Amino acid sequence: MGLGSMKHARTLAALSIGGAMLLTGCASVNRVETADTDESNITARQVSRDSSLSRDVSIRSVRGSIVDGRMMGQLIVRNNGRSRREFRYNVLWFNADGMQIDRGASTWTYDHLVSGETKTLQRIAQSPGATDFVFQIHGVD
């Protein structure tokens, strides 16, 4: 599969997941997707936040690297608002073909940011086959 086809497959996978979440009636999910798998710096391709998080919480950077043969995703977020923000986050992992993997290992983590705080969120894929990832963030009010 060529590079263009892999990116197309990843885009379709991300859109499918996003569509499925909309159909379930859940609160909107904030998504940060990787654009490529350069080990030193994975740039954000898309950031989508619900209105409450977009007012207060900004995405500072998205990075990825290989740690002991497995993909590690890192997201740096900052609370630009005047009050504490509660949120939960999760990471979806994808293989080189754009297929989601490690579905059973996907768990939500609750966290918070006080006003002005910057925090680094990290996860490491369970499978060495992970080459791409998507961070999901929900505001908790």
Domains (range + CATH), the chain: 3-140 (2.60.40.3230)
The one-letter code for the residue type at 126 is Q
Q: Is residue 17 helix, strand or coil?
A: helix
Q: How many CB atoms lie within 10 A of CB 141?
A: 10
β 109-113/100-101 pair status: unpaired
Q: What is the mean pLDDT of residues 19-27?
A: 39
Tokens 């990116």 -> residue: 7
What are the backbone dihedrals phi and psi of residue 16, each rounded to the nearest 5 degrees, phi first?
-65, -45
Q: Are 123 and 15 in contact (CB under 8 A)?
A: no
- Answer whether residue 129 shows pLDDT above 90: yes
Q: Is residue 134 helix, strand or coil?
A: strand
Output the furthest CA–CA distance in the chain (Å, rounded).
48
Q: pLDDT digit string (tens) for 103-125?
A: 777 789 999 999 999 999 999 99
* CA angle 101–33–95, rounded 5-degree value: 25
Q: pLDDT digit string (tens) for 66-115?
A: 999 999 999 999 999 999 999 999 888 989 998 999 777 778 999 999 99
